[in-house]
C-alpha cells in the first residue's frame, strides 16, 4: 500500500500531562492504563452517587484527558451517561446550562475559572448548583466559593497521573489503595507512587501538594487511605 | 491504488453510485427509523400533512419533506418538556446501548442545544487526517475544547496515530512548542483566528519561533470563523499547511483536501441540499444558498431536512484530488445578513476592508443588526492603537475602506480590541449584535 515503511502504531493511548508545581511533565499512558484507571473509578462513581440512568456533568480541560477519560468511561460502566463542559471562564455558561438541561446527579470539576465566569455573568452559585446532589470542586478556591454559597462541595484531587475524590463524609480525599501509594515528606509534601504496572512509571513523584495521609477506615466504610489537605508551609 | 485515500472506494465512488447509496440509506433506513421514533420528525410531518407513505423517491423527499431548524428544536424542547427537542430515537431511561453521552452545540447563537451522542469509535475525519499526510505511528496534537466529547481522540487513533492533548488557549503555546520539538507531531486539530493573532503577539515574549514550532506538521486543521487575509498571511509566513474545516448543517463536517479548492462534504453520511434562503427551491450548482442537511447515519438523534441558517456555495463537480463528493465554500450566516438600500451585507463582506487598515488589522468587529432591513450600515470596530493622526483619522480610513468594498458609507464606532475580545469564547466573537 504505502511506499513508505511505517512504524506500527505504538501502544500509547495518548500523551497527557502531569502538573508538578508550575511545571508540565508530558505523560504518555497506554490503553491498559486507561482501562485500569476506569476500573478504579467505578468506585468513584458509586461514591459520588452516580448510577444507572443518571447523568454526570464533567467540567474539565482537554489537557486533563488522562484524568478525565477514565471518569467518562467509568460513568458509562455504571450505566450512567456523561456530559462535558470546559472548565474555563468563557464556557462557564455551559456548565450552568447543562445543570438545568440534563438534571445531573453530580457535577465534577468546578474550578476557580468557572466560578469567576458564573459570577461575571451575574449567576448565583447556590442557584446554579443547588439542584445538584453532589458538586465536586477541582481546586481550593472553587471549593471555598461553593462552600461560601451554602453548598457542600467535595474535593477532586489530581495526584500525578491518578486522582481521588472525597466521599459524603468530606473528610479527606479517597485514593485507591490497591493501585496507589501516597507518602509524605517531613514538611508534609505529598509523594505519589503507582503500585501497578503503568506505561510511564510513577515513583515517589513530588506532587507539589501538601497534606496528611490518614490510614484508618473512613466513616463511609472505605478502608482506602485518605488525604487531608493542608496549606503549604511558608 | 494510491495511498492518498483512507477509504478509496467510498471517497472516489462514481456519482451515480453515490446517489444510489444515498437513496438506499435515506429511504430504506434512516427516514423510516426517524419517522417512527423521533417525536419532532413525526410532529413536523403531521403538521405538514405529509406521511412517510408519500415519500417513495428522492424527488418526493425534495418536494414534500418538511423542514426543521434550531428554533423548532428549541420550541419542541420547551413546549413538550422534552430536553432532547424531540430528536431522540432511543429510550433515554434504558441504560447501556450506544447512547453514552450528552454533548451540546457551541451555544454562540443562544442557549446550547443538547446533542445525544455515541462516544465509541473514530469519526469520518479519519479521511481528512489521512489526506493531510498523517500516518500510523505519528503524533497528532489535539488542541481543543471538551464539550463535543472524545470523538477526535478516537479519530486520531483511528488512523493509527497518537493524540497529544492540549487546551485551545494561547497560554498553551509554550507547552505546544516544547511538545512539537520533542515529539515532531504531523497533525494538529484545531487552529483558530484568535490563536493565530495571539501567537503573533505573544511568540517573542514566550521565546517561540513559530516556523520552528510548525516545522514537523504536514497539516493543521483550521476551524472557527472565516479565515481572514491577515491570519492567512501569518500562517503562510510560518510555513503552515492549513486545511479549512467547517460544519455541515450539524450532520457532518467538511474539510479541504490538499487541492485547497473547497471543503469536501462526505455524502455517504449526509444528504445535503442548497436552497433559496427565503424559499424552498434549490439554487444552481455553485450558487449561494442556504445549506439544508439530512443525516444518513445518526440513529440516536437524526436531523431530517435541517435548515442550518448557513449560507454556502456547493459544487458537485469532481475535485482534482479524484474525490467525487461535493465541495462547499462557507459564505456566512443567513441570520447575520443585513440589507441596506437593497444591498445584502454579511460580516465576511466588510472583513477585508477592516483588515486593510493598520490600526484595525486584527479585524475584530461587529455589525450592529437591530433588524434585517436597515437604513444605515453600522459597525463597531476594534483598534490596536490610535495611529499617527488620532482616532478620527483611523475612523475616516475605515469608513473609506468599507465604502470601497461594499459601496455603502458606514457609521463606525471605534473601541479598543480588548473590549471586543471579552465578548466571546476564545475562538470567536459574535460578529453580529443587536446593539
Ligand atoms: Zn469515605
Ligand atoms: Zn479534493
Average model confidence (pLDDT) for chain B? 94
A63/B172 Cβ within 8 A: yes
Domain at A78, CATH number: 3.40.50.12780
* Separation of CA A45 and ligand 1 centre (Å): 13
Is B166–A62 a contact, with Cβ atoms under 8 angstroms apart?
yes
Alpha carbon distance B196, B214 (integer Å): 12
Note whether B3 contacts A1, CB cutoff 8 Å: yes
Q: Is the pLDDT of residue A82 over 50?
A: yes
Q: What is the CA(A36)–ligand 1 centre distance, in A?
A: 21
- For residue B417, give the 3-state DSSP assignment: helix
Q: Indicate the range of A64-73, B122-131, B239-248, B425-434 predicted with least confidence.
A: B425-434
User: Which tens digit of pLDDT belongs to each residue from A214-232?
Assistant: 999 999 999 999 999 887 7
Burial (Cβ within 10 Å: 0-12, 13-18, ≥19) of residue B384: middle
Fold of B8-118+248-334: Rossmann fold (3.40.50)
Q: Is the pLDDT of residue B5 over 50?
A: yes
pLDDT at A2 over 50: no
pLDDT in tens, A177-202: 999 999 999 999 999 999 999 999 99
Residue B98 has what pLDDT? 83
**Contact (CB, 8 A) for B380 and B368:** yes
Q: What is the ipTM, given to two decimal places?
A: 0.95
Beta bridge partners of A191: A183, A206
Residue A1 lies in a domain: no
Cell of B353: 476592508
Tens digit of pLDDT for each residue in B174-210? Answer: 999 999 999 999 999 999 988 999 999 999 999 999 9
- This prediction has a pTM of 0.91
Flag whether A63 is in a domain. Answer: yes
CA distances from A95 to A154, B116, B145, B250, B305 (A): 17, 16, 13, 21, 30
pLDDT above 70 (res B108): no
Mean pLDDT of A26-47: 97
Compute the distance between CA of residue A193 and CA of residue A181 in angstroms, rounded to an integer. 5
The model's confidence at residue B344, banded by pLDDT at 50, 70 and 90, is confident
> Is there a contact between A90 and B93 if contact means CB atoms under 8 Å apart?
no
- On chain A, the residues whose CB falls within 8 A of the CB of B166 are 62-63
Choose the closest CB to A94 out of B112, B157, B175. Answer: B112
Fold annotation for B125-247: Rossmann fold (3.40.50)
pLDDT higher than threshold 70 for residue A16: yes
DSSP letter assigned to residue A92: H
Percent of chain B with pLDDT over 70: 98
- Closest listed ligand to the CA of B266: 2
Pick the CATH number of B337-433 from 1.10.40.50, 3.30.300.30, 3.30.365.10, 2.60.120.10: 3.30.300.30
Place of cell 464539550: B147
Ligand 1 centroid to residue A86 C-alpha, Å? 28
Residues B25-52 as b/e (b if ≥16 CB within 10 A, e otherwise) read bbbeebbeebbebbbbbebbbeeeebeb
Q: A91 and B172: CB-CB below 8 Å?
A: no
Q: Taking Cα atoms as reference points, which of A127, A227, A132 lies closest to residue A177? A: A227
| Model pLDDT, residue A6 | 41
CA-based nearest distance B308→chain A, Å: 22
Q: Each residue of B207-234: pLDDT tens digit?
A: 999 999 999 999 999 998 888 888 999 9
Q: Is residue A17 part of a domain?
A: no
Per-residue pLDDT, A234: 63
Residues 163-192 of B with CB under 8 A from A: 163-169, 172, 175, 178-179, 182-183
Q: Based on the number of CB atoms within 10 Å of its own CB, is B120 exposed (0-12), middle (13-18) or buried (19 or more)?
A: exposed
Answer whether A63 sits within 8 Å of B101, measured CB to CB.
no
Cα–Cα distance for residue pair B214/B216, rounded to 1 Å: 6
Q: Where are the domains of chain B?
A: 8-118+248-334, 125-247, 337-433
User: pLDDT tens digits, residue range B277-286?
Assistant: 889 999 999 9
Percent of chain A with pLDDT over 70: 95
Rounded to 5 degrees, what are φ and ψ at A228? -100, 130
Mean of pLDDT values over B371-379: 94
| Closest C-alpha among B152, B109, B115, B214 to residue B428 | B109
How close B104 comes to chain A (CA, Å)? Answer: 8
Q: How far is B238 from chain A (nearest CA, A)?
A: 25
Q: How far is A4 from chain B (nearest CA, A)?
A: 10
Ranges of H-type helices in B216-341: 229-237
- Give residues 19 to 38 of A whose Cβ lies within 8 Å of B: 24, 26, 28
How many residue pairs from chains A and B have C-beta atoms closer than 8 A? 139
Q: How many CB atoms lie within 10 A of CB A26?
A: 16
The per-residue pLDDT for range B141-175, each reduced to its tens digit, is 999 999 989 999 999 999 999 999 999 999 999 99
In a domain, residue A6? The reply is no
Interchain pair A76, B136: CB under 8 A:
no
Nearest to A120 by CA among A93, A148, A85: A93
Label residue A10 by pLDDT band (50, 70, 90).
Answer: low
Q: From the CA of B320, which ligand is nearest? A: 2
Ligand 1 centre and the CA of A174: distance in Å? 7
The answer, for B102 touching chain A at a CB cutoff of 8 Å, is yes
- pLDDT, greater one: B427 or B139: B139
Q: Tell me which chain B residues have a C-beta less than 8 angstroms from the C-beta of A97.
A: 104, 107, 111-112
Structure-block grid coordinates of residue A94:
455551559
State the pLDDT at residue B319.
Answer: 97
Q: How confident is the model over A50-73, as pLDDT tens digits?
A: 999 999 999 999 999 999 999 999
Asked whether the predicted pLDDT for residue A1 surpasses 50, the reply is no
The helix or strand, by DSSP H or E, that contains position A33, with its residue range, turns out to be: helix A31-47
The pLDDT, as a whole number, for residue A7 is 46
Q: Could you tell me which residues come within 8 angstroms of residue B75 by beta carbon, excluding any fewer than 6 positions away?
A: none
Round to whole Å and give the CA distance between A168 and B396.
63
Give me the pLDDT at residue A3, please: 35
A131 pLDDT more than 60: yes
pLDDT at B252 exceeding the cut of 80:
yes
Residues of B in contact with A117 (CB under 8 A): none
Total domain count, chain A: 1
Residue range(s) defining the domain that contains residue A175: 22-229
- Identical fold between B125-247 and B337-433: no
Amino acid at each position: 500500500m504505502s511506499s513508505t515503511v511505517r512504524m506500527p502504531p505504538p501502544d500509547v493511548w495518548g500523551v497527557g500531562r502531569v502538573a508538578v508545581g508550575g511545571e508540565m511533565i508530558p505523560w504518555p499512558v497506554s490503553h491498559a492504563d486507561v482501562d485500569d484507571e476506569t476500573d478504579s473509578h467505578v468506585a468513584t462513581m458509586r461514591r459520588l452517587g452516580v448510577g444507572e440512568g443518571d447523568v454526570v456533568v464533567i467540567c474539565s480541560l482537554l489537557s486533563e484527558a488522562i484524568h478525565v477519560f477514565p471518569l467518562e468511561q467509568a460513568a458509562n460502566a455504571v450505566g450512567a451517561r456523561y456530559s462535558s463542559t470546559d472548565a474555563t471562564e468563557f464556557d462557564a455558561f455551559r456548565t450552568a446550562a447543562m445543570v438545568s438541561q440534563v438534571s445531573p446527579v453530580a457535577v465534577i470539576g468546578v474550578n476557580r475559572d468557572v466560578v469567576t465566569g458564573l459570577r461575571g455573568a451575574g449567576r448565583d452559585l447556590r442557584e446554579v448548583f443547588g439542584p445538584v446532589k453532589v458538586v465536586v470542586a477541582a481546586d481550593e478556591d472553587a471549593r471555598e466559593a461553593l462552600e461560601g454559597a451554602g453548598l457542600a462541595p467535595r474535593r477532586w484531587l489530581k495526584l500525578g497521573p491518578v486522582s481521588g475524590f472525597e466521599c459524603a463524609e468530606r473528610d479527606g480525599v479517597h485514593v485507591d489503595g490497591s493501585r496507589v501509594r501516597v507518602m509524605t515528606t517531613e514538611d508534609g509534601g505529598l509523594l505519589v507512587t503507582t503500585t501497578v504496572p503503568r506505561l510511564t512509571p510513577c515513583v515517589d513523584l513530588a506532587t507539589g501538594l501538601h497534606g496528611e495521609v490518614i490510614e484508618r477506615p473512613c466513616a463511609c466504610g472505605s478502608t482506602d487511605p485518605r488525604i487531608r489537605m493542608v496549606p503549604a508551609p511558608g | 491504488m494510491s495511498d492518498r485515500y483512507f477509504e478509496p472506494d467510498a471517497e472516489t465512488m462514481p456519482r451515480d453510485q453515490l446517489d444510489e447509496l444515498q437513496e438506499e440509506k435515506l429511504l430504506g433506513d434512516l427516514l423510516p427509523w426517524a419517522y417512527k421514533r423521533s417525536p419532532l420528525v413525526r410532529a413536523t410531518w403531521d403538521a405538514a400533512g405529509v406521511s412517510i407513505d408519500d415519500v417513495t423517491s428522492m424527488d418526493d423527499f425534495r418536494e414534500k419533506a418538511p423542514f426543521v431548524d434550531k428554533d423548532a428544536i428549541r420550541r419542541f424542547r420547551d413546549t413538550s418538556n422534552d430536553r432532547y427537542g424531540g430528536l431522540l430515537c432511543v429510550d433515554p431511561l434504558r441504560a447501556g446501548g450506544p447512547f453514552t453521552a450528552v454533548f451540546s452545540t457551541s451555544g454562540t447563537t443562544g442557549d446550547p442545544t443538547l446533542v445525544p451522542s455515541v462516544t465509541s469509535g473514530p469519526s469520518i475525519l479519519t479521511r481528512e487526517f489521512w489526506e493531510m499526510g498523517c500516518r500510523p505511528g505519528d503524533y497528532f496534537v489535539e488542541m481543543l475544547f471538551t464539550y463535543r466529547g472524545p470523538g477526535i481522540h478516537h479519530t486520531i487513533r483511528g488512523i493509527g496515530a497518537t493524540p497529544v492533548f492540549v487546551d485551545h488557549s494561547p497560554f498553551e503555546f509554550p507547552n505546544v512548542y516544547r511538545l512539537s520539538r520533542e515529539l515532531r507531531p504531523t497533525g494538529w486539530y484545531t487552529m483558530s483566528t484568535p490563536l493565530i493573532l495571539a501567537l503573533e503577539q505573544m511568540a517573542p515574549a514566550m521565546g517561540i519561533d513559530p516556523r520552528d514550532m510548525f516545522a514537523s506538521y504536514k497539516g493543521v486543521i483550521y476551524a472557527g470563523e472565516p479565515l481572514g487575509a491577515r491570519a492567512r498571511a501569518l500562517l503562510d509566513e510560518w510555513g503552515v499547511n492549513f486545511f479549512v474545516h467547517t460544519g455541515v448543517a450539524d450532520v457532518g463536517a467538511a474539510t479541504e483536501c490538499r487541492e485547497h479548492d473547497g471543503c469536501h462534504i462526505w455524502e455517504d453520511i449526509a444528504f445535503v441540499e442548497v436552497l433559496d434562503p427565503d424559499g424552498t427551491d434549490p439554487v444552481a450548482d455553485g450558487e449561494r444558498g442556504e445549506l439544508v442537511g439530512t443525516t444518513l447515519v445518526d440513529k440516536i438523534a437524526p436531523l431530517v431536512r435541517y435548515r442550518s441558517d448557513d449560507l454556502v456555495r456547493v459544487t458537485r463537480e469532481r475535485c482534482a484530488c479524484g474525490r467525487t463528493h461535493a465541495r462547499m465554500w462557507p459564505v456566512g450566516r443567513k441570520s447575520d445578513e443585513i440589507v441596506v438600500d437593497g444591498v445584502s451585507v454579511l460580516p465576511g463582506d466588510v472583513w477585508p476592508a477592516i483588515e486593510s487598515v493598520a490600526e484595525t488589522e486584527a479585524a475584530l468587529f461587529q455589525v450592529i443588526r437591530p433588524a434585517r432591513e436597515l437604513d444605515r450600515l453600522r459597525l463597531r470596530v476594534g483598534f490596536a492603537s490610535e495611529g499617527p493622526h488620532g482616532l478620527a483619522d483611523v475612523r475616516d480610513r475605515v469608513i473609506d475602506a468599507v465604502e470601497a468594498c461594499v459601496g455603502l458609507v458606514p457609521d463606525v464606532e471605534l473601541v479598543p480590541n480588548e473590549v471586543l475580545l471579552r465578548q466571546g469564547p476564545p475562538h470567536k466573537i459574535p460578529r453580529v449584535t443587536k446593539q
